[in-house]
């Protein structure tokens, strides 16, 4: 069955870089879009970006140039990296699977990982 699981560092210091891995099973990364969504006390649920089935990416401009999403299809893993962390980046980070952004498909988030809590603090 479809499974997604995020693993992250837990605690990150301000100004440092966050790295989270989403390991998936039950489907191929080359057939679906993979999304990153975070949930923070200050802003609630925020879409961060996605990596398309073909490997290209799109990001929320809110995160400007801080964010990078990549993948390793051989390992069934998707990666999130975000630099210059601030205390307001504290929250739960989720990966989610969707069908694709073409208007005919509909890009709702059908499957979510359990999330990984990230605390930004010195």
Residues that bind other proteins (CB under 8 A): 35, 44-47, 58, 60-62, 94, 98, 101, 103-104, 106-115
**In terms of CB distance, is 11 or 110 closer to other proteins?**
110
Which C-beta is closer to other proteins: that of 11 or that of 45? Answer: 45
Q: Considering the complex, what minimum distance in angstroms separates the CB of residue 46 from other proteins?
A: 7
The distance between the two most distant Cα atoms of the chain, rounded to a whole number of Å, is: 46
Contact 63, 49 (CB under 8 A): yes
Q: How far is the CB of 118 from other proteins (least distance, A)?
A: 15
- 88 by Cβ neighbours in 10 Å (0-12 / 13-18 / 19+) ranks as exposed
């Amino acid at each position: 069955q479809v499974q997604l699981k995020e693993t992250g560092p837990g605690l990150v210091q301000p100004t440092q870089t966050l790295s989270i891995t989403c390991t998936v099973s039950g489907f191929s990364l080359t057939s679906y879009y993979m999304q990153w969504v975070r949930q923070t006390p200050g802003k609630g649920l925020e879409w961060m970006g996605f990596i398309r089935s073909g490997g290209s990416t799109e990001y929320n401009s809110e995160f400007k140039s801080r964010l990078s999403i990549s993948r390793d299809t051989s390992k069934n893993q998707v990666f999130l990296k975000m630099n210059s962390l601030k205390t307001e980046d504290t929250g739960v980070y989720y990966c989610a699977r969707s069908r694709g952004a073409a208007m005919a498909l509909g890009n709702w988030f059908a499957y979510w990982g359990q999330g990984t809590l990230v605390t930004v603090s010195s």
